[in-house]
Structure 1
Amino acid sequence: MTKKTYKNAKKASKAAQVLGSATYVLGGQTESTAGGIVGLGGAVADGVLGNGYNVEMKFKCM
């Protein structure tokens, strides 16, 4: 996955969490159910994407 794709996916997952939470709290019964599902989906996607990547460099002095 490219860095740009990763960043876009992270933004989308965070947006889904926020939107889902707001809909869950402020919506009626049907909207609350949908909001909970969207928020949970965003949380799952965020968890799957993880914290990005690490670069490890090792140097050897000669």
Structure 2
Amino acid sequence: MKRILLSVGLAVWLSGCAHHDDVRPSSDGVHNIMLFSDSRDAGSKEALKQARHYCKQADMVAYVVNLDIIYNSDTPESTYITQKGVANAVEAAGMAMWIFGRNSVDDAGAAMTIGGGIADGALGNPYDVRLNFKCG
């Protein structure tokens, strides 16, 4: 059991070390990051985090040249945001029922949690985040 817990803990810790996988270095000094995200805020934060880490390796600071976030889906953005909120609410309510419920209530909560997670995953990552930056 200890080995399993140690392995899971190590995997979680190492997954937090994904530093700047999306950075595309450039010879002219203006580097690019392109990634997909499920929200504008999360996408810009992730891109900036990767830029900072990339520049920090050379003891420099990241300076944003340009940041573009484009919503890219056939579903209207307002509908996507509503659906995302509903999926997250169902998942959270299900989690509470799963943890605090008894008998069939916790079973329903488990189903809601899983269903909300599936719905959230099915919505995808419609935000195309493009960050250009320099290290200085």
TM-score normalized by structure 1? 0.82
SS in 2 for 1:44: helix
User: What do the CA deviations read for 1:8-33 (whole angstroms, capped 9, x no partner)?
Assistant: 00000110110000000101110000
Equivalent position of 1:41 in the other structure: 115
Among 59, 83, 92, the residue aligned to 1:9: 83
Equivalent position of 2:100 in the other structure: 26
Q: % of aligned pairs identical?
A: 34
Query: Which structure has greater strand proportion?
Result: 2
CA distance in 1, matches of 2:129, 2:100: 42
CA distance in 2, matches of 1:7, 1:51: 12
Greater gyration radius: 2
Hey, which bits of structure 1, 4+ residues long, moved more than 6 A?
none
Q: How many residues are paired up?
A: 56
For structure 2, list consecutive stretches of 5 or more residues without a partner in the other structure: 1-74, 131-136
User: What do the CA deviations read for 1:8-60 (whole angstroms, capped 9, x no partner)?
Assistant: 0000011011000000010111000000101110000010111223277xxxx
Query: Which structure has greater helix proportion?
Result: 1
For structure 1, list consecutive stretches of 5 or more residues without a partner in the other structure: 57-62
CA RMSD, Structure 1 to Structure 2 (Å): 1.4
CA distance in 1, matches of 2:114, 2:85: 15
